[in-house]
Amino acid sequence: MKFKIFALFAFLSVCFSGCAQNGFKNADVQEFEKITAEQSVVILDVRTPQEFADGHIKDAVNIDVKADSFKDEALRQLSDKNQTVAVYCRSGRRSVTAANILSEEGYKNIINLKGGILSWQSEGKAVEK
């Protein structure tokens, strides 16, 4: 019985450690806004071009994380892997995917907007069209 419990805990710890986020930090709207006010930050919108056109955070660069060319385009446009990249999407799911990809590619300072642009707008923050 003890072995079964131990095996279960071992299995769960492996599962949860594989699900843990690595290489990026989540930020709420206030923290994200403060970070993106810095000049050396790249603001990366990973939504579709249509979503981007409907409204985006000022000075954001658009690279669709669902596009097959996302990784290549990100590597091309975000050449300094030490520069802070502040990433967001609509609700925060796609940006986590993008943050993980960027982290795997060696980017050091990735900030993910929790709740995406929906949380940004719910806090009354401006978007550009």
- Is the predicted pLDDT of residue 19 greater than 60, yes or no? no
Q: Which residues are catalytic?
A: 89
CATH number for 23-122 (one of 3.40.250.10, 3.30.70.890, 3.50.50.60, 3.40.50.300): it is: 3.40.250.10
Q: List pLDDT tens digits, range 21-68.
A: 568 999 999 999 999 998 899 999 999 999 999 999 999 999 999 999
How is the chain split into domains, by residue range?
23-122
Q: List pLDDT tens digits, range 64-101.
A: 999 999 999 999 999 999 999 999 999 999 999 999 99
Q: What value, to the nearest 5°, has the Cα angle with vertex 48 and ends 44 and 24? A: 35
**What is the value of pTM for the model shown?**
0.83
- Asked whether 44 and 60 are in contact (CB, 8 A), the reply is yes
DSSP secondary structure letters along 18-58: HHS--S-EEE-HHHHHHHHTSTTPEEEE-S-HHHHHH-B-T
